[in-house]
Structure 1
Amino acid sequence: MNDTPAHPTGHRRRRTRLLISVASAVFLAAASLTVAGTAHAEADRTVTSNTTGTHNGYFFSYWKDSGNVTMNLGGGGSYSVQMNGINNSVVGKGWNPGSTSHTVNYSGSFNCGGNCYLALYGWMTNPLVEYYIVENFGSYNPSSGATRLGSVTSDGSTYDLYRTQRVNQPSIQGTATFYQYWSVRQQHRTGGTINVANHFNAWRQAGLTLGSPNYQILATEGYQSNVSSNITVSEGSGGGGNTGGPTSGPTTGGGGNNGGCTATLSAGQKWGDRYNLNVAVSGSSNWTVTLNMASPSVVSSTWNVNATWPSQYVMVGKPNGSGNNFGVTIMANGQWTWPSVSCSSG
C-alpha cells in the first residue's frame, strides 16, 4: 500500500479508505453471505484474524492490516473489540444486505483519544458507493478535506454531509472509481437510534445518486490508535423513509400569539412508531414555545432548542443559539394527533 492521500488533505483517511476497500473486496468476494435466523443461540466466539460471516443472525466483518485486534462476538447483535499496536483495523456487526430505510438501535461504550471512530458503514452497488454515518470519533474528523454539501438534522443532532471520490481503487467490485458519502454527527454519542432513511434522503436531496444496498455494519475503526468498544446493535421497530406527517393533525398549525410571537408546526419524517415535527417561530428571537402532547404520545428527542419538561406530556422550548426553527421527535404510542402549541416572547 502507498501513502497517497484520500482527500485533498489528510493522508490518513486515504490509507484507511483504501485498506478497508481491499478488505471488503477480498473477503466479500470469498463468500456470498446473507443474514439468516439461527435456530438457537450460538456460543460466544473470539475472532483474531481477517474474516466475515454470520453470528446469532447478524453479519459480521473483521479486518486488520497489522497489530493486535481481538473481536468477541456475543449474543444477538453484540460484539466487543480491543485494538492495540495497529496500523488500521475495522470490525463490526450488522446486516447483509443492509437497508436504506430501517432504523438501527445501538448502545455500549467506545474509547479512543486518537484517530478512530464509530459509524454505520456500508456499500451500495449500481452505482458503487461506500458510505459512513459517523456517530463518534476521536481527535481526527474522518471528513477532513472533503467538500461539505449541507446538513441534515436527525435523532437529536445535526449531521454534516460530504462526498469524496476514489479513482481506480480497490472496492467490493475490484479496482473501480466510486464515491464515498458521509454524514458526520456534530454532537458525538455512543448509543441511540439511527433513522437511516433520513441520511439517505438527505444525500439524495443533495444531488447524490443512491444504489442498491450491499452489507451494512455498526463499525469500530482505528488508525494507529489504541481503541476499545463494546457495542450492541439491533434493528428498530418500524421503517423509515416516509415523508408525510402523522395520520391525523393539521399540516400546519400554531397556537399562536400568546405574547408577541407565533409558533407554526409542519410535518417531518414519519415512521411506524414515531414522527418528526418542525417548529418555526416568528415575531421574536427571544421566545418560549410550549407543546402540549396528546396523551400517551411523548417527545423523545429535540434539536436546535433548549427543552425542559414541566410534566410528562408538556415540553417547553427556548432558543439555544441555533435560530428560530427547531424540531422534535414524538413517540406516538398509538396517538397520532399533533400536540397543541403556544408561543410567548421573553
Structure 2
Amino acid sequence: MNDTPTRPRRRRIRLLFGAACAVALTVSGTVLAPSAHAEADRQVCSNSTGSHNGYYFSFWKDSGDACMVLRENGRYSSSWGRSTNNWVGGKGWSTGGRRTITYSGNYNPGNNNTYLALYGWTRNSLIEYYVVENFGSYNPSSGAQRMGTVTTDGGTYDILRSQRVNQPSIDGTATFYQFWSVRQQKRSSGTITFGNHMDAWARAGLNLGSSWAYQVMGTEGYQSQGSSDITVSEGGGGNPNPNPTNPPPGNGNCSVSVTRAEDWNDRFNTTFSVSGASNWVVSIRTNGGQSLQSSWNASVSGSSGTITARPNGNGNNFGITLYKNGNNTTPTASCSTG
C-alpha cells in the first residue's frame, strides 16, 4: 500500500487541517434554498465556509494572497500568487451524494502545482475522495496504488487509492484512505456522473462511507500561482467528449477478436484482443438497449449503439462491462487503423 510522496504529504496535512476546521464549523449545516433576491458578489480571503446564492462554499489557506470571489449562482473565481503556500476553495453542496454535476469555465494552472477536482469526504468509513478533472505540473495521484480505470462522461480516468496514517481529517487525527479518479484527458468544463465513479471504486473494492460530508468543485494551489473562474450546477449537460462517437470507416490492416467473459444477472464483461496494428480504432456494436458501465485498458467513447475504443498505452487487450437492459447478446466488433 503506497503513500503519496513526501512533498504532497506536507501539502495534504495543511489542506486536511483546513478541511477539518471547515467541517467542524459546518458539518451540521444544510445548503439554503436560493433566495428571491440574488446575493451580491462577495470576496473571501480568509478561512470561512457558508452559503452563497444557494450553494455551499468553503475557502481555506495557510498564508499568502489567495482569494476567492463568490459570484452568481454556482460561480466562483479565484487567483493566487507564490506568497500563498497552500489554499483550496470552491462551491458545491454541504452534503455529498450520488449526484451528477456540470461545471464550466476557465482554469489556468500553467506549469504549477495545482488542480481542479470534485472533492469531498464520507464517514463510516472515513474516506477523502477526488475526481480530478485537470491539474498542472503535479499529478495529485502520484505515488498512489493503481486500481484500474473507468470510462465515463467522454473520458478515461485512472482509479487509485492512497492511505493517510495518523493525519488530520474532518474528524481530527485519523488513519483513512483517499480514493482518486484522475482524468487522462484534461479538461476544464464538462459533466461528472459521480455515481459512475462510486460504482467503479466499489468494483475495485473501494467502498465509500455511509455518511456524507461536503462536496465541492474546488480549485487548489500549492506553492504556485494561477487562477480559475468556475461555475457548477447539479444535473447533466451532455457528453463533452471531443472525440467522435463513431469511428472512421474502413477495415484498415488490423483485426480484433471478441471473447465473452464474466456474466451477472444485469451485466456482463467482454474482452477484445487487437492484432496487426498498434494505432487502432475498434468499433464495438452493442445490441438492443445495452449500455456501457465501465471499461479498462483502452480509451472508450460512447455509451450505447456503436462504442469506440482506442489505445491508451496499456497494450492491445482491453475489455468493457455492458448493462444487459434486457438483451444478453454478445457485441460484435471491427478494427481499423487510426
TM-score for the superposition, normalised by structure 2 = 0.74
| Shift of residue 163, structure 1, vs aligned partner | 2.1
Aligned match of 1:23 = 18
**111-120 or 176-185, which deviates more:** 176-185
| Shift of residue 178, structure 1, vs aligned partner | 1.8
Q: Label 1:317 to 1:19 Cα distance change in 2 as closer, same or farther (>3 A).
A: closer
Aligned match of 1:177 = 175
Aligned match of 1:33 = 29
From 317, 323, 327, give the equivalent of 2:316.
Answer: 323
Q: How many residues align?
A: 302
Q: Label 1:325 to 1:224 Cα distance change in 2 as closer, same or farther (>3 A).
A: same
Aligned match of 2:245 = none
Q: Confirm whether residue 206 of structure 1 aligns to residue 201 of structure 2.
A: no
How many angstroms apart in 1 are the aligned matches of 2:229 and 2:126? 30
Alignment of 1:45-64 (within 5 A): 45-64=42-61
Give RMSD over aligned pairs: 4.0
How many angstroms apart in 1 are the aligned matches of 2:301 and 2:34? 43
Q: Label 1:135 to 1:162 Cα distance change in 2 as closer, same or farther (>3 A).
A: same
Q: Is the 8 A contact 2:96 2:215 kept in 1?
A: yes
Aligned match of 1:109 = 106
Q: Is the 8 A contact 2:149 2:156 kept in 1?
A: no
Q: Confirm whether residue 186 of structure 1 aligns to residue 177 of structure 2.
A: no
Q: Is the 8 A contact 2:256 2:282 kept in 1?
A: no
Aligned match of 1:343 = 334
| Shift of residue 318, structure 1, vs aligned partner | 6.6
Aligned match of 2:96 = 98
How many angstroms apart in 2 are the aligned matches of 1:206 and 1:292? 26
Aligned match of 1:196 = 194
| Shift of residue 170, structure 1, vs aligned partner | 2.1
How many angstroms apart in 2 are the aligned matches of 1:123 and 1:288? 38
Mind listing any 5+ residue stretches in structure 2 that lack a counterpart?
Answer: 238-253, 262-266
Alignment of 1:1-346 (within 5 A): 8=3, 10-31=5-26, 32-40=28-36, 41-84=38-81, 85-99=83-97, 101-112=98-109, 113-155=111-153, 156-167=155-166, 169-211=167-209, 212-237=211-236, 281=272, 284-285=275-276, 304=298, 323=316, 325=318, 343=334
Q: Label 1:265 to 1:215 Cα distance change in 2 as closer, same or farther (>3 A).
A: farther
Residue-by-residue CA offset, 1:68-87 (whole Å, 9 max, x unaligned): 01211111111110011200
Aligned match of 2:241 = none
| Shift of residue 147, structure 1, vs aligned partner | 2.3
Q: Label 1:231 to 1:284 Cα distance change in 2 as closer, same or farther (>3 A).
A: same
| Shift of residue 52, structure 1, vs aligned partner | 0.3
Q: Which runs of 4+ in 1 moved over 3 A?
A: 259-266, 276-294, 302-308, 313-322, 324-329
| Shift of residue 198, structure 1, vs aligned partner | 2.0
Q: For 2:18, what is the secondary structure of its paired residue?
A: helix
The amino acid across from 1:19 in the alignment is R
| Shift of residue 148, structure 1, vs aligned partner | 2.1
How many angstroms apart in 2 are the aligned matches of 1:316 and 1:119? 26
TM-score for the superposition, normalised by structure 1 = 0.72
How many angstroms apart in 1 are the aligned matches of 2:198 and 2:300? 27
| Shift of residue 165, structure 1, vs aligned partner | 2.1
Q: Label 1:264 to 1:94 Cα distance change in 2 as closer, same or farther (>3 A).
A: farther
How many angstroms apart in 2 are the aligned matches of 1:141 and 1:283? 30
Q: Label 1:285 to 1:307 Cα distance change in 2 as closer, same or farther (>3 A).
A: farther
The amino acid across from 1:88 in the alignment is N
How many angstroms apart in 2 are the aligned matches of 1:307 and 1:205? 20
The amino acid across from 2:161 in the alignment is Y
Q: For 1:234, what is the secondary structure of its paired residue?
A: strand
Q: For 1:68, what is the secondary structure of its paired residue?
A: coil
**25-34 or 283-292, which deviates more:** 283-292
How many angstroms apart in 2 are the aligned matches of 1:144 and 1:316? 29
**277-286 or 128-137, which deviates more:** 277-286
| Shift of residue 205, structure 1, vs aligned partner | 2.0
Q: For 2:190, what is the secondary structure of its paired residue?
A: strand
The amino acid across from 1:200 in the alignment is M
Q: Is the 8 A contact 1:71 1:79 kept in 2?
A: yes
How many angstroms apart in 1 are the aligned matches of 2:205 and 2:149? 13
How many angstroms apart in 2 are the aligned matches of 1:9 and 1:318? 30
Q: For 1:76, what is the secondary structure of its paired residue?
A: coil
| Shift of residue 95, structure 1, vs aligned partner | 0.8
